[in-house]
Chain A
Amino acid sequence: MNGLTLFFLRSGSNKWLLQRFAAVIVLSYIVFLICVLIIRPEMDYSDWVNLNKAIPMRFFSFLTVLSLSVHAWIGMWCVFTDYITVRLIGPKADFIRKGCILLLTLTAAFYVLWVFKILWSI
């Protein structure tokens, strides 16, 4: 097991459930936005700002980005552990894979923090 994998994610079922749960949150956010645009087709910039300023909307947006990051992290972790293996690319694979996972983790964390900053500066 890779050292970068969080303790909670050592269970395959937890990882599987978390990825599906995250997907449901992202999907519900997309459906919500589509509904908003259908109900309020005349929405202008100030309406859009007001919508995103509302505290529940901020939490929903943040939760969605967090879910998207978790979903992407688990998916990419699967891709890295499938393709970047000693069997496929040789003895450097472990080092390269750990580097990729570290980069992935940092990128996901960066995006989450960045979105947090954006949402709370509206």
Chain B
Amino acid sequence: MITVSIYRFNPETDEHPHMQDFEFDTVGKDLMVLDVLEKLKVEDPSLVFRRSCREGVCGSDGMNISGKNGLACITPLSEAVRNNKIIIRPLPGLPVIRDLVIDMQQFYAQYEKIEPYMVNDSPAPQIERLQSQEERAKLDGLYECILCACCSTACPSFWWNPEKFIGPSGLLQAYRFLADSRDTSAEERLSKLNDPFSVFRCHGIMNCVQVCPKGLNPTRAIGHIRNMLIRGAT
């Protein structure tokens, strides 16, 4: 038997958010946190959370699980339960819509800023734009981001300046296009990032690396962008 303490807030009925405790029998199984939430939702249908693929691909069920951001669908109870208790809260730093559902508008606004699409104005070849294996390898560790927002909402710089600092997720994606040999707009992309906030507000805290459920390293990508900007400035 474990205690599942869940952040509850319904703006239509609650003045303030509160934590609600549920007792849950795991029947000796190491379930995923999402499985527990699904079963609790049967018990209390008013509990609200996002979920979709339930296998760590869609990035819908990012939440703060016992103090660490992660995806509920791939976080086993054995990793999250401490002293027979698990505490589940919405991702921090963004407005809560209801229970574990946050408003990700600000997160997507930063993603939009980095223009997450390939820019190449040269005439398209008959079949496809080719890359060497080495050029393609540069995208490994970048393209796998599923935009779950676990990293950006774990980043104090993003909490403090979410309108100005792109955040680790957006910057990882920015570098994904800067590193792509087929993209020809590196100079324009860099000029849009060369203010004191967009990139340089990263203080290297590395919470993003610690929480990324896909094992990616946004801090390294930010370091690469910073180096490109410095090389351009000198």
Contacts and interface: CB of A to CB of B under 8 A. Distances in A.
Interface residues of B, number: 19
B194 A17 contact: no
A87 B160 CA distance: 7
Contacts of A122: none
A17 B196 CA distance: 12
Contacts of B69: none
B195 A10 contact: yes
A46 interface: no
A33 interface: no
A15 B229 CA distance: 12
A34 interface: no
A85 B226 CA distance: 25
Nearest to A5: B196
A16 B160 contact: no
A15 B226 CA distance: 12
B200 A16 contact: yes
A82 B205 CA distance: 14
A13 interface: yes
Contact of A11 (B157, B160, B194, B226): B194
Contact of B233 (A10, A14, A82): A14
B230 interface: yes
A88 interface: yes
Contact of A82 (B157, B226, B229, B232): B157
Interface string B213-234: 0000000000000100110111
Contacts of B198: 12
B105 to A, nearest CB: 15
Interface in A76-116: 78, 81-83, 85, 87-88
A118 interface: no
A9 interface: yes
B161 A82 contact: yes
Contact of B200 (A13, A82, A83): A13
Contacts of A78: 201
Contacts of A15: 196, 200
Contact of A13 (B157, B162, B201, B232): B232
Contacts of B232: 13
Contacts of A85: 160-161
Please indicate which of the listed interface residues A5, A9, A12 has the most CB atoms of chain B within 10 Å of its own CB.
Answer: A12
Interface of B: 157, 160-162, 193-201, 226, 229-230, 232-234
25 contacts: A1-B195, A1-B196, A5-B196, A9-B196, A10-B196, A11-B194, A11-B233, A12-B198, A12-B229, A13-B226, A13-B229, A13-B232, A14-B233, A15-B196, A16-B226, A16-B230, A17-B230, A17-B233, A82-B157, A82-B160, A82-B161, A82-B201, A85-B161, A87-B160, A88-B160
Given A12-B194, A13-B226, A17-B230, 17 more contacts: A1-B195, A1-B196, A11-B196, A12-B196, A13-B229, A13-B230, A16-B226, A17-B233, A17-B234, A81-B197, A82-B160, A82-B161, A82-B201, A83-B160, A85-B160, A87-B160, A88-B160
Interface of A: 1, 5, 9-17, 78, 81-83, 85, 87-88
